[in-house]
Structure 1
Amino acid sequence: MNVAKTNMAIPDTETQPTMDNFKVFPKHIGVWQGTWIRLDADGKEIERFTGVVSKKIVDNQWIQTNTYQFADGRSVTQNFVGILAGKGSIKIESNEPPFSNYTAIAEEYGDDLVIFRIWDKATGVLLGIETINLSENNTCCIRTSQGYTAEGKFRGGMMIVERKIED
């Protein structure tokens, strides 16, 4: 058999990063339930609601659905898809407003921490930063976030405590 020489590199699938081989993201797979507490710029509580978050990896994509329940009976669902952005890094987007206007990168650090940054797609201005820390043998997720205006002024934050309810 005659094999032609080529300069094209053949990808080594064993060294290519896949989300299944990340250190932190696979620990988040499952269904989580918790309470979101939104705070204004002075730290005063302005809203509290519950949510259920489903997280999974399908075909090397991060698939996440957040469903929020509010005291007034409203229910809101948001869907996100993440693609590989590098080792330990996922670019997350949504087709649904307002998140369709944002670009987000989630990066894992160490064994339990994800730092999530959100930018305005049109301006490139950083609008938010969130830390997501796993604890209690990966059954509790503590999330804190900071939100900023387009001018860079702190507009408030959020505290989220979730418990894994299903693998």
Structure 2
Amino acid sequence: MIGGKASQDWFLSTHHPRFLQIVTNATFTPAVYFVVDGLEEHVLQTDYIDAQFPALNGHRSMYWVYRSLNFLKKNQNLPLPLRIDFSCYIDRDKATYANLTKHILNDASASLSVLGASDLCGVAETYYFIDDTQRKKYGQAFTLEALFNPHVNRLSFWTTLMLENKE
């Protein structure tokens, strides 16, 4: 989350160039993943205006992703990843997971292309709910996007259960 904490900017500036070099020299593809703003009210905020980056207008879910990619490109002159991977923790209230997932991926396509970023994306991490019904609805939303959205190239779920505190 570039811009969120100075230490993150410093860490990426200091270590990412060497990381790219070492991983590439080992014939692997270097990757980094970003954080989507998955709060429902932000995902659906079509009237959002970003004073600094107009490409984000109406695409608030990409707030941190865009800023981080822009940091790589403009401030560090580093190559953008071949695929834009992100953690996607959707916190819904009334909308369906399918609607929110589709909106987030559409936001990515619309806003990140301005930076010249890859149109391929991957969901590298997301919730794994304890409740079977909630987990299935959540998983189906991502699965449908992965099946029918040509931009989704990878989908991963954590398999550890999040336990509630039972006092």
Q: TM over 0.5: same fold? A: no
Give the structure with the larger helix fraction: 2
When normalised by structure 2's length, the TM-score is: 0.28
Higher normalized strand content (fraction of residues): 1
Q: Which has the larger radius of gyration?
A: 1
